[in-house]
Amino acid sequence: MLPLDGVKILDMTQFLAGPYCTMVLADMGAEVTKIERFPAGDDSRRLAPFVNGESYCAAMPNRNKKSLAVDLKHPKGREVFFRLAQRADVVIENFRPGTTKKLGVDYEAVRAVNPNVIYCSISGFGQTGPLAHQGGFDIIAQGFTGLMRMTGEPGGRPAKVGIAIADLAAGNAAAQGILAAYVHRLRTGEGQYLETSLVDAVLAWTVWESGAYFGGGELPEATGTRHRRSTPYQAYRTQDGYVTVGAGNQRLWERFCRQVVERPEWIEDPRFVDLGLRMKNIDELEREIEAITVTRPTAHWVAKLDEAGVPGGPVYRYDEVLAHPQVRAREMVVELEHPVMGRMRTLGLPVKYSGTPLAIRTPGPWLGQHTTEKLREAGYAEEEIRTLYDEGVVYDKYPDRPRE
């Protein structure tokens, strides 16, 4: 039995923030029904690369889910939605604020048929405030929150974090909120409305930067790979690439000097004798260290760091890390069969459970793959289902393919 077995979620989200949230919950065992418009479906279905006409990227955050393609603008489509919503534990959406009300599927409408529902909204800026009406993609949130000013090389142009970190932060915050609200409902029987935004979620992750600003008025600027409060704690050039060093305290610093770069005199050097002085003279320290690290390949320094007990490692390309024995041993790359794309790979599960081990049970569904199944669950007769298809209320992209 999975941790969230029996929990039913209606998922009206698209792109990444919402789908990432519901992927996390689906991985835990929740039954997630992805509500999609048609014929386009989730906008991420337009993202390349495509295999046999299906987006590989869209399949990634939609594993372990089922897809129901329905026209929520059609009265019969809303009827389908509310039949499912009556039995749902959670409803989640990430439309621009006000959209669900226009569609007639907002929290108040769902609560009218399911008083104990947990309803979650994700948006760019939140449901309140002067910018609530604005749309907000990941890059907008990264710029608005100052994150792009903190990322990149000193003096360079603002840089986007390499992944969609605002989307993922918001999805993570929403998943945490839903789990907490579900625990509350188990205790009290009460549902509730909760909402988060990309901006709120990113700001919540700037905990150290906020401390520096609130405590000392310090504005966080781009530092490349450097740590804001510790050194040596960054990536250094080597003969064939880069090596990361995490000598984050005095004990590790002394080991680094004696055993890794073999410069024991640095321990008493007035420029580097304590952390405050090392931070003050960080440019000089970087030059001194790199003058040594560039003389040998990355593997040499990784071995020396490991031998000395100083945290460090290589700076890999993405393909290199996915092929690494450590990643494979942790089952972070998983293969499964997709009914349209065939054999495919996806990322594994980051949390390992001893008592309720999770599993990637099904690949991301095609658009409308489970429409008929969900209509039957909602109590529709076969003749009614045929009528809904004939009237263009619901959709299945591949009606003649096997379901799984």
Catalytic (active-site) positions = 167
d(CA 18, CA 170): 8
CA 119 to chain centroid:
20
The answer to whether 290 touches 236, Cβ cutoff 8 Å, is yes
Distances (CA, A) of 200 to 55, 208, 303, 381: 30, 16, 41, 45
| 251 CB neighbour count, 10 Å cutoff | 11
